[in-house]
Structure 1
Amino acid sequence: MSSKLGMFILYAPACVMGFASFFMYPDGGIRFMLLKSAVTIHFFKRVLEVLFVHKYSGGMILGSVLLISSSYFMVPAVMIYIQHLTLQYTEPEIDLKSIGVLIFLVGISGNFYHHYLLSKLRDSKEKGYKIPQGGLFSMVICPHYLFEILGFVGISFISQTSFSFCCAVGVALYLSARSNVTRKWYLSKFEKFPKNVKALIPFVF
């Protein structure tokens, strides 16, 4: 199938689930509302990017699309359900939801901005690859991954459940590995790729 359709299928079910969670669990207090909102905004942004921002080439395999889509659906669904189960317990002694909202907003804004920069690298007729420019691309090759991680860290701070923190750690490990592979690819593809540009974290990694 086309990459655009495949990417839409990846994120649309999770987006629908996010909106549906407000009807499935209409109550629950401010923390639960913030978690549902953050999850929904995250995947709604992804759907909008698929439809209006990203440039595509090639195609995707249906089986892989369905497998990834189901995982993207299940993780936030379980996160929201677990949050629902915690409503019967007392609030954590240290409340991280406010700082979580701030980190999430920084993460989702930075992620969108760098996705936008990537979409402007070439027009629809160009097929070659270019070194990304602008934003934090002068310091790391995958700033969109860095902000993606921040978004999930923000969600985990809002939620403050073991499952949400495990999800944030999993996302961080996965995207760290991907960013490292991406940097190695750029180094092999472009002789003049700046060696001071790190993979994910400025000056560090």
Structure 2
Amino acid sequence: MSLFRKFLFPPPSSLFVNAMSFIGVISLCAIGFGEIRGKHLNYSKFWRSNPEKNLKKENSISSTKGMLTVYTPAFVASMVSFGFIEWQLRPLLLSSTLALHFCKRIVEVLFVHRYSGGMMLDTSFLISLSYFLSSVTMIYSQSLTPGHPEPALDLKYIGVPLFLLGITGNFYHHYLLSKLRKNQSDGYKIPSGGLFGLAVCPHYLFEILGFVGVTFIAQTLYALAFTLGTISYLMGRSYATRKWYLAHFKDFPRERKALIPYIF
């Protein structure tokens, strides 16, 4: 517990936040394990590989509309939070990083990503609700920290550059992915450039770094739980992505890892 207190604020007395911390990490870990087992959230290439979902066209929308539905509520919540949070450095940094994260996502949906399929409505609303509740809960959890002892190790000044590295690396590799379809081709290709030569999903790796940065800024139990759940999910997603490429491309280099170069 003493080691725990060096890095985090004391757990809040809020039953809601504590319950969300538990539910969040368990549910994301379960979804990540489902990805490994082949039970995917149906969007991107995994939408195409599930014929049962493809038959339900009446329950689908375009990927652009679906992803805007995913990110917009969390972005709005992050922006609205500036009207309610304590105007102190840590809460301001947290709301700013969350707003910047989801603003970047919306910009990418509108101007960077090139989609080839659709998205199930239930998948879109499920992910949207998850992001919205996670953002609100993270900001609310931060609002409960004033008056409590600060962690012995102040990590927010490490968290800011780590977040910026994560968001920049994530954007760069998303841009490289978009270049694979510059002619609006429906076909998938093996990604190249950046860290794609070493891992299938370096964009997920940088997303993880970004959320680790957010956790360092917040230093709350909920932020840590959310990030651990996110890591679990993205590990499962990257594993499934590598498996998909191996199945669809005979010349896919087997030495290329899923998420972390040379390791996993």
Q: Shared topology, TM-score over 0.5?
A: yes
Name stretches of at least 5 consecutive residues in structure 2 with no aligned partner: 1-60
Alignment equivalent of 2:235, drawn from 141, 166, 176: 176
RMSD: 1.0
| 1:59-97 residue CA offsets vs partner (Å, 9 max, x unmatched) | 222222112111110001100000001122122111000
TM-score by length of 1: 0.96
Alignment equivalent of 1:15, drawn from 61, 75, 81: 75
Q: Give matches, 1:1-205, under 5 Å.
A: 1-25=61-85, 27-205=86-264
2-side partners of 1:97 and 1:84: how far apart?
Answer: 16
Aligned-pair CA distance for 1:24: 1.9
Query: Which residue type is aligned with residue 254 of structure 2?
Result: K
Query: Which residue type is aligned with residue 137 of structure 1?
Result: F
The DSSP-based 3-state class of the residue aligned with 2:146 is: helix
2-side partners of 1:141 and 1:169: how far apart?
Answer: 21
Query: Which residue type is aligned with residue 238 of structure 2?
Result: S
Structure number with higher relative contact order (C-alpha < 8 Å, ≥ 6 residues apart): 2
The DSSP-based 3-state class of the residue aligned with 1:108 is: helix
Query: Which residue type is aligned with residue 8 of structure 1?
Result: L
Aligned-pair CA distance for 1:132: 0.3
Question: How many residues are aligned here?
Answer: 204
1-side partners of 2:132 and 2:162: how far apart?
Answer: 23
Name stretches of at least 5 consecutive residues in structure 1 with no aligned partner: none
Aligned-pair CA distance for 1:124: 4.4
TM-score by length of 2: 0.75
